[in-house]
Amino acid sequence: MIIPIRCFTCGKLVADKFDQFKRQVRQGEDPAVVLDNLGLHRYCCRRMLLSHIDIIDSFMAFATTEVVEGK
């Protein structure tokens, strides 16, 4: 749904690095180099960012709170 806060395997904080990772990869940088620079050296943490797909935006298309009741 949204980037997990920590690595499933080792517990390292990964969520705060996702925005930068996404931005730099979109600019055409090599994901391996970006991950190294972010300090994610173990492959358990690297897969957290590499394999993540944000689907919260798709869910938000179905948000039901356009009109708040009683307001």
d(CA 61, CA 71): 22
Q: Is 29 one of the binding residues for other proteins (CB under 8 A)?
A: no
Q: Does 25 bind other proteins (CB under 8 A)?
A: no
- Candidate residues 13, 23, 31, 36; the one interacting with other proteins per rule CB under 8 A: 13
- Cβ-in-10-Å burial (0-12, 13-18, 19+) of 21 comes to buried
Does 15 sit near other proteins (CB under 8 A)? yes
State which of residues 26, 28, 53, 57 lies at the interface with other proteins (CB under 8 A).
57
Is 53 a binder of other proteins (CB under 8 A)?
no
Distance, C-alpha 6 to centroid of its chain: 11
